[in-house]
Amino acid sequence: MTGSPPTALRPQHPAPRSLRSLAEQFGLEVRGELADLEATGVVLSSNTVRPGDLYVGVPGRNAHGAQYTAAARDAGAVAVLTDAAGAEIAAGAGLPVLVADDARATLGQVAAWIHRTAENPATMFAVTGTNGKTSVVYLLYGILRQLGVTAGLTSTAERRIGDEAVTSSLTTPEASELHALLARMREVDVRAVGIEVSAQALSRHRVDGLVFDVAGFTNLTHDHLDDYPSMQVYYEAKRDLFEPERSRRAVVTVDSEWGARLAAEAGVPVTTLTTRPEIEADWRITVLDEQPAHTAFLLEGPGGRRLETRVPLLGWYMAANAALAIVMLVDAGYALEGIAAALERDGGIDAYIPGRAERISGERGPIVYIDYGHSPDAFLQTLDAIRRTTTGRLIMVFGADGDRDTTKRADMGAIAARGADVVVITDFHPRWEDPAAIRTALIDGARAAVPDREIHEIADPRAAFRAALALAGDGDAILYAGPGHEDYHEVKGVKIPYSARDDARSALREAGWPA
Ligand SMILES: CC(=O)N[C@H]1[C@@H](OP(=O)(O)OP(=O)(O)OC[C@H]2O[C@@H](n3ccc(=O)[nH]c3=O)[C@H](O)[C@@H]2O)O[C@H](CO)[C@@H](O)[C@@H]1O[C@H](C)C(=O)N[C@@H](C)C(=O)N[C@H](CCC(=O)O)C(=O)O
Ligand SMILES: Nc1ncnc2c1ncn2[C@@H]1O[C@H](COP(=O)(O)OP(=O)(O)OP(=O)(O)O)[C@@H](O)[C@H]1O
């Protein structure tokens, strides 16, 4: 990994594609002269144009992308693809214009064509659900490596090819970035790819132009109700992944009613998986042992197939995530016996998931977990998992996103107050909102649920974590939920450097504990 990673991974030896053929292939209206022009890439932002790229200008919340055609031209774009309104805007910029009815809806197929995604031999795995997507993608990646398979992934945290990684901005990249990433993976002979697919990605055409070999579903709980008017509409956005246009087959966790509905309504063959003894499913997970540093489980499937292993992470749900990854591999054609042998050889699953219940404390002192959970169910599950493996007190530090689903704040406060002995409420990406008002919403939720819970309100996250640490001793646990792998705080449009993991390590050392 380099010190200053590039923002996107692209093929280093792209094969040029004729723009005239592209226009014919996709029935695009051409304004201007294409002559023998060729494109070697396709991008959605003028800021990422490289010479030879096709720039795609789509309407956004703030601007029409066609407004940046001149900037794209100056950076070396050979043409612009946009809609009718964009074509008017781009007219004076001196680039040939390709016109589509809906440029964003065309982008996926165009990017797939330019990067020849259909010829990519890698097995493609998609993972969706409210919580657990990143975890499953890293677990797939880890197990594939244990099997000796060259693997890649894209997640909320990173885009990763072997040991090369860049930091992600979106959970699921825009289609232009995704197909370029897959082309780069093909150049280095990646044979299997795990792709985290958000509901927003499905709604916004980011995974168009790709048919996944196996799609996996974790769960569906309250989140993103700023983007979707109801849980039903949020569910429908996810369900779209489980249609033949997007996937060949699916593995669905049926612990929840949403999962059971999905298994019944999916348009592709479904294999089911559960952790609950009372639910019927093809595969069943039984948790055998829960420890702060690992969870052991038994996976049993059709025809008496079994696999007993452990995942180096806290919580029953990590066993569920690991089992989902294993069943997805089996459905893609990897032999369960081969997986079992590789895991046994290595003493269990070998995976590192940045900032997911990541233990950053040493052998002595309070156990400190930094987690990315920022939804009510994620809080519930992580608190429960820590409670089950901790003898001492449980102190939780958290805040809530500004300018995101405000309806979940009261629940987040309530769940924290019920699950933790002490709650420390702090700031977390206030963005353009008043941070004090966000804290108040969380505190009100907490007080309504448990009026006498010990609650501290400390705006500065560094001070909040140190206050939590001052209250903790050997045998106690601190859950700092929200920041996970992130290395910034977003305040009024500015990303201020802040790594909860680094800061918590420093705080532990300042307090005389190993970290
Ligand atoms: C609401 C939404 O989806 N917004 C996305 C959208 O931004 P926007 O509509 O504000 O874009 P805009 O600023 O109006 O610009 C319009 C166009 O001009 C282009 N432009 C703009 C400026 C410039 O100098 N040059 C240029 O080319 C932009 O790239 C864009 O294509 O297009 C941008 C470029 O692709 C995205 O980065 C941006 O995602 C934002 C950051 C976002 O937060 N999206 C969220 C909703 C999201 O997708 N989240 C899920 C979360 C998953 C989870 O938690 O599970 C995800 O998958 O990440
Ligand atoms: N299977 C699961 N069921 C419930 N909660 C889970 C599960 N897996 C993970 N979590 C919780 O959700 C948090 C986020 O996990 P993860 O990053 O894997 O989910 P995600 O779906 O990728 O989230 P995001 O889309 O926000 O990146 C974890 O730290 C944990 O608290």
Q: What are the angstrom distances between the C-alpha of 77 and each of 40, 80, 88, 317? A: 10, 8, 18, 46
266 and 131 in one domain? yes
Q: Is 131 annotated as a binding residue?
A: yes
352 domain-assigned: no
**Residue 364 shares a structural domain with residue 311:** no
Q: Decide: 341 in ligand 1 pocket, CB within 6 A.
A: no
Q: How many domains does the chain have?
A: 3
Are both 190 and 157 inside the same structural domain? yes
Interface confidence, given as ipTM, is: 0.93
> Would you state the structure tokens that stand for residue 448, as one six-digit string?
């309504």
Radius of gyration, alpha carbons of the chain: 24
Distance CA 419, CA 41 (A): 50
* Residue 64 Cα to ligand 2 middle (Å): 34
Q: Is 133 annotated as a binding residue?
A: yes
Query: Cα(206) to centroid of ligand 1, in Å?
Result: 11
Which ligand minimizes its atom distance to the CA of 431?
1
Q: Are residues 67 and 206 in the same domain?
A: no
Task: Give the C-alpha separation, 153 to 194, whole Å.
Answer: 5
117-153 b/e (C-beta count within 10 Å ≥ 16 → b): beebebbbbbbbbbbbbbbbbbbbbbbbbbbebebbb
The reply to whether 251 falls in a domain is yes
Kindly give the distance from the C-alpha atom of residue 378 to the centroid of ligand 1, in angstroms, as a whole number.
25
Query: Which CATH number is 238's domain given?
Result: 3.40.1190.10
Strands (E), 40-122: 41-43, 53-57, 79-82, 97-99
Q: In CATH, what number is assigned to the domain containing residue 71?
A: 3.40.1390.10
Any domain includes 137: yes
Q: Which residue from 185, 200, 103 is spatially nearest to 404, judged by alpha carbons?
A: 200
Given a cut of 50, the residues of the chain with pLDDT beneath it are 1-6
**Pair 191, 50 in one domain:** no
How would DSSP label each residue in 399-442?
Answer: ---TTS-GGGHHHHHHHHHHH-SEEEE-----BTS-HHHHHHHH
State the residue range of the domain holding 45: 17-114
What per-residue string of b and e applies to 40-72 under the rule 16 or more CB within 10 Å gives b?
bbbbbbbebbeeebbbbbbbeeeebbbbbbbeb
Residue 77 placed within a domain: yes
Which CATH number goes with the domain that contains 435?
3.90.190.20
Is 324 found in the same domain as 206? yes
Q: Do both 384 and 317 map to the same domain?
A: no
Residue 171 labeled ligand binder: yes
Residue 219 annotated as part of some ligand binding site: no
Clarify whether residues 212 and 275 are in a common domain. yes
- Annotated ligand binding at 129? The verdict is yes
pLDDT score for 2: 31
In a domain, 1, yes or no: no
Atom nearest to 356 CA in ligand 2: 29
- pLDDT, position 7: 59
pLDDT tens digits for 288-326?
999 988 999 999 999 999 999 999 999 999 999 999 999
- Evaluate whether residue 423 is within a structural domain: yes
Residue with tokens 């499913």: 281
Looking at residue 126, its amino acid is A
Decide: 291 in ligand 1 pocket, CB within 6 A.
no
- Using a 10 angstrom Cβ sphere, with 0-12 exposed, 13-18 middle and 19 or more buried, the burial of residue 390 is middle
pLDDT value of residue 168: 82
Question: Which ligand 2 atom lies nearest to the CA of residue 137?
Answer: 18
**How far, in Å, from the CA of 235 to the mean position of ligand 2?**
17
Asked, for residue 74, whether it belongs to a domain, the answer is: yes
End position of a domain, from candidates 311, 345, 379? 345
Give tens-digit pLDDT for 245-264. Answer: 999 999 999 999 999 999 99
Among protein residues, the one whose CA lies closest to atom 8 of ligand 1:
60
Greatest Cα pair distance, the chain, in angstroms, is: 75
Nearest to 129 by CA among 228, 1, 262: 262
- pTM confidence score: 0.90
Q: Note the pLDDT of residue 3.
A: 34
Spatial distance between the Cα atoms of 69 and 91, rounded to a whole number of angstroms: 9
369 lines ligand 2 (CB under 6 A): no
Q: How far is the CA of 24 from the centre of ligand 2 (A)?
A: 43
State the distance from the centre of ligand 1 to the C-alpha of 223, rounded, in angstroms.
Answer: 19
The closest-lying atom of ligand 2 relative to the alpha carbon of residue 371 is: 29
Task: Check pocket membership of 62 for ligand 1, CB cut-off 6 A.
Answer: yes
Q: Are residues 70 and 167 in the same domain?
A: no
Q: What's the DSSP call for residue 16?
A: P
Report yes or no on 93 lying in a domain.
Answer: yes
Say yes or no: CB of residue 53 within 6 Å of ligand 1.
Answer: no
3-state class (DSSP) for residue 459: coil
**Residue where one domain finishes, among candidates 294, 323, 345:** 345
Nearest ligand, CA 315: 2
Same-domain pairing of 319 and 396: no
The reply to whether 108 and 191 lie within a common domain is no
Angle in degrees, CA 258, 263, 266, rounded to 5: 105
Domain endpoint, select from 345, 380, 408: 345
Out of 274, 372, 377, give the residue to mutate to test ligand 2, the one with the largest number of ligand atoms within 8 Å of its CB.
372
Q: Are 331 and 273 in contact (CB under 8 A)?
A: no
C-beta of 334 in contact with ligand 2 (< 6 A): no
* Cβ pair 395, 479 in contact under 8 A: yes
pLDDT on residue 6? 43
Q: Are 224 and 277 in the same domain?
A: yes
What share of the chain has pLDDT > 70, as a percent?
99
DSSP reduced 3-state for 201: helix
Distance CA(499)–CA(165), nearest Å, equals 18
Please name every residue paired with 273 in a beta bridge, in sequence order, or none if there are none: 253, 283
Q: Which ligand is nearest to the CA of 237?
A: 1
Token output for 507: 């705080």
Decide: 157 in ligand 1 pocket, CB within 6 A.
no
Q: Does the Cβ of 375 fall within 6 Å of ligand 2?
A: no
Which ligand ends up closest to the CA of 47? 1
